[in-house]
């Protein structure tokens, strides 16, 4: 998916003995979005923006060793052994020498022809890594300016880690001007080293440069055109994060020293075999306990007590991604943890006072956000007509951030209707859920509308579920439970087989539990989202076939 950026100049940092000027170059092809002010909390901002850089450059995918040299040595040893074994046969030895000579000639010819190319290529890559790291990390962050705060969003290189840094206006002093909106910023890798120079005793000026939108009248073009072919998975990951944030989760707080102890254990020991997981042992009224596997080392967080309603054990994989939080420990008041379930995503929020850092982790490192589970299928699915959706989005645009309850009261609509409309705009990349404040925020991920069909159809199960509903192959029974909970059960006939799915829908129209007798569910549970039979059960109950037709249109 190609994105076209147009920058006025480039992002720069000017540092002197008395002041530091940070100026981000925004994408001038979008609506004017800018912010100018001076930092009041320099050190906290420095550590938080550095942790965000840790997300951008993170890549924990398995990288196999280069065994070229070993294979060459093994081949030489084999030839030497074979020569010794057949030394008593002169004719065989002569033939071996002849073949060896031919291979040597071919190797020299190949080396002579391709050698300069390989050397030049390696030299070029070395130069890029030392001097132009921007070519290695091209996924620039997205920055959004709102009336109450501005925030950065980014993804890791392996697309399994999401980072968000929110800065309230109390972080700044002398806020001179700003314009709300979302833009892509030219965030060069060299900025990381410059950010390390921020000090409390030095005045730091921060700007998403409004001059980037000035009219250029000189002969030289000051704009820089950048065309980046972003993978669909990067865009799809952004859409899935907000959907995952709205789902029910086990929530508790951790003291900064407890997070330090987690990182300390991971730094001191290196696992050689699985399972490589953290097992969170949660019991109401007791300290949070964490079991490190495979060493079975139990860490009791005595400063952090779990106040949830019931006991639970949740396993978290890809735990070394938590080391991104290390820099935040000295400046964080507390960490709030949201665990969706074993093998499901998790969120770690760092409370830095007027700054707030959110680290979102997919189920495990190899299972990135794009493939993690299609969490939009579990999000609220109330049927909403096109006019009502536009009404809700326009109302949200007036305040830029608001809760679904507040919007429902202001528009005199049902809460589930408002949440259904917001869920649709979340999947269109135009709305984001703020886990910290529990509100929805307007955030246009791109200048042009995203190809929702292309991004959604990564998972064909929803289309299969619609076909089952339209063919009248679904029988559903609903039973109301206390606190607005609805339990669904029924049968689905699919390809001469009869399956028996069940689902539980809470008062917010979110699917909290589900089961099925099909092979897909038995193999994956809900780790990759619900199967088509569970989706068909829900669609049959809510009349989602009409909602699906709206999505296709």
Q: Give the CATH number, domain containing residue 192.
A: 3.10.150
* Residue 213: predicted pLDDT: 38
Do 433 and 484 share a domain, yes or no? no
Do 485 and 450 share a domain, yes or no? no
Overall size of the chain counted in residues: 553
Q: Work out the average pLDDT over 63-71.
A: 72
Please report whether residue 489 resides in a domain: yes
Through-space distance between the first and last CA atoms of the chain, rounded to whole angstroms: 21
* Residue 223: predicted pLDDT: 42
* Residue 149: predicted pLDDT: 92
Please report whether residue 283 resides in a domain: yes
Do 281 and 369 share a domain, yes or no? yes
Q: Which residues pair with 224 in a beta bridge?
A: 7
Q: How far apart are CA 365 and CA 527, in angstroms?
A: 14
Asked if pLDDT for residue 366 goes beyond 90, the answer is no
CA neighbours within 13 Å on the CB side: how many for 173? 6
**Residue 218 binned pLDDT confidence (cut-offs 50, 70, 90):** very low
Do 128 and 176 share a domain, yes or no? no
Do 268 and 363 share a domain, yes or no? yes
pLDDT tens, position by position, 397-424: 999 999 999 999 999 998 888 988 888 8
Nearest to 357 by CA among 492, 259, 282, 449: 259
Q: Higher pLDDT residue, 217 or 37?
A: 37
Do 117 and 152 share a domain, yes or no? no
Do 491 and 547 share a domain, yes or no? yes
Residue after which a domain boundary falls, among 331, 346, 377: 377
Number of domains composing the chain: 5
Measured CA to CA in angstroms, residue 396 lies from 31, 114, 426, 449 at distances of: 18, 60, 12, 18
* Residue 136: predicted pLDDT: 45
Q: Which of 134-148, 326-340, 392-406, 484-498 has the lowest mean pLDDT?
A: 134-148
Please report whether residue 235 resides in a domain: no
Asked if pLDDT for residue 544 goes beyond 90, the answer is no
Please report whether residue 497 resides in a domain: yes
Q: Higher pLDDT residue, 307 or 125?
A: 307
Do 245 and 356 share a domain, yes or no? yes
Residue after which a domain boundary falls, among 377, 395, 416: 377
Contacts of 540 (CB under 8 A, 6+ apart): 469, 474, 475, 476, 490
Please report whether residue 74 resides in a domain: no
* Residue 140: predicted pLDDT: 62
Please report whether residue 71 resides in a domain: no
Q: Work out the average pLDDT over 312-340.
A: 94
Do 272 and 358 share a domain, yes or no? yes
Percentage, residues of the chain above pLDDT 90: 32
Asked if pLDDT for residue 150 goes beyond 70, the answer is yes
Do 411 and 467 share a domain, yes or no? no
- The domain that contains 447 carries what CATH number? 1.10.10.10
Nearest to 531 by CA among 511, 549, 552: 511
Model-level pTM? 0.73
Centre a 10 Å sphere on the Cβ of residue 508 and count the other Cβ atoms it contains: 17
Q: Work out the average pLDDT over 101-110.
A: 72
Please report whether residue 219 resides in a domain: no
**Cα angle, residue 346 at apex, residues 342 and 350 outer, rounded to 5°:** 145
Do 436 and 311 share a domain, yes or no? no
Nearest to 153 by CA among 189, 193, 182: 182
DSSP 364: B
Please report whether residue 249 resides in a domain: yes
Strands (E), 385-494: 401-402, 431-434, 439-442, 474-480, 486-494
Average pLDDT, the chain: 79
Do 445 and 485 share a domain, yes or no? no
- The domain that contains 522 carries what CATH number? 3.10.450
- The domain that contains 303 carries what CATH number? 3.10.150.10
Residue after which a domain boundary falls, among 93, 118, 134: 134
* Residue 192: predicted pLDDT: 76
Positive or negative, the Cα torsion across 393, 398, 403, 407?
A: negative
Burial environment of residue 426 by CB neighbours within 10 A (0 to 12, 13 to 18, 19 or more): buried
Asked if pLDDT for residue 524 goes beyond 90, the answer is no
Q: Which of 95-104, 312-321, 364-373 has the lowest mean pLDDT?
A: 364-373
Query: Is residue 287 a contact partner of residue 306, using CB atoms and an 8 Å limit?
Result: yes
* Residue 348: predicted pLDDT: 97
**Residue 229 binned pLDDT confidence (cut-offs 50, 70, 90):** very low
Q: Work out the average pLDDT over 182-205.
A: 77
Q: Which domain holds residue 467?
A: 460-552
């Amino acid at each position: 998916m190609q994105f076209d950026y147009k920058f006025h100049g480039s992002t720069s940092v000017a540092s002197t003995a008395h002041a530091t000027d940070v100026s981000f170059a925004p994408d001038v092809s979008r609506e004017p979005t800018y912010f100018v002010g001076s930092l009041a909390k320099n050190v906290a901002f420095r550590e938080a923006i550095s942790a965000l850089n840790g997300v951008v450059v993170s890549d924990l995918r398995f990288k196999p060793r280069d065994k070229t040299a070993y294979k060459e040595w093994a081949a030489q040893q084999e030839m030497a052994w074979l020569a010794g074994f057949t030394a008593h046969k002169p004719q065989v030895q002569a033939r071996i020498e002849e073949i060896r000579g031919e291979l040597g000639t071919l190797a020299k010819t190949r080396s002579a022809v391709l050698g300069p190319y390989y050397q030049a290529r390696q030299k070029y890559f070395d130069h890029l890594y030392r001097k132009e790291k921007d070519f290695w990390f091209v996924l620039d962050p997205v920055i959004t300016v709102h009336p109450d705060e501005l925030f950065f969003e980014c993804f890791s290189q392996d697309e399994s880690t999401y980072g968000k840094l929110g800065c309230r206006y109390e972080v700044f002093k002398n806020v001179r001007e700003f314009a709300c909106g979302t833009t892509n910023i030219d965030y060069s890798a060299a900025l990381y080293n410059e950010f390390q120079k921020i000090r409390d005793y030095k005045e730091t000026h921060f700007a998403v440069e409004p001059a980037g939108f000035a009219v250029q009248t000189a002969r030289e073009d000051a704009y820089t055109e950048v065309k980046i072919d972003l993978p669909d998975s990067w865009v799809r990951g952004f859409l899935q994060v907000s959907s995952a944030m709205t789902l029910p989760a086990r929530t508790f707080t951790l003291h900064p020293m407890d997070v330090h102890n987690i990182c300390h254990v991971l730094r001191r020991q290196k696992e050689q075999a699985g399972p490589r997981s953290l097992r969170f042992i949660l019991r109401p009224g007791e300290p949070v306990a964490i079991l490190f596997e495979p060493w079975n080392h139990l860490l009791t967080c005595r400063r952090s007590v779990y106040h949830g309603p019931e006991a639970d054990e949740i396993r978290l994989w890809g735990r070394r991604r938590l080391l991104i939080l290390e820099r935040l420990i000295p400046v964080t008041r507390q960490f709030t943890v949201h665990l969706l379930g074993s093998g499901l995503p998790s969120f770690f929020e760092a409370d830095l006072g007027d700054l707030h850092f959110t680290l979102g982790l997919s189920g495990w490192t190899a299972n990135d956000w794009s493939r993690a589970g299609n969490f939009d299928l579990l999000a609220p699915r109330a049927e909403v007509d096109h006019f009502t959706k536009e009404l809700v989005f326009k109302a949200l645009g007036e305040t830029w951030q608001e809760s679904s309850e507040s919007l429902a009261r202001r528009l005199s609509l049902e809460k589930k209707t408002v949440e259904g409309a917001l869920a649709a705009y979340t999947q269109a990349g135009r709305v984001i859920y703020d886990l910290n404040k529990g509100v929805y925020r307007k955030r246009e991920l791109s200048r042009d509308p995203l190809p929702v069909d292309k991004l959604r159809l990564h998972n064909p199960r929803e289309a299969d579920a619609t076909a089952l509903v339209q063919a009248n192959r679904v029988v559903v029974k609903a039973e109301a439970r206390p606190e607005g909970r609805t339990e669904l059960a029924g049968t689905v006939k699919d390809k001469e087989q009869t399956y028996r799915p069940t689902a539980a829908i809470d008062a917010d129209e979110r699917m909290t539990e589900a089961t099925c007798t099909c092979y897909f569910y038995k193999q994956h549970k809900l780790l990759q989202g619900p199967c088509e039979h569970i989706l068909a059960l829900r669609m049959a109950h809510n009349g989602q076939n009409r909602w699906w037709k709206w999505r296709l249109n």
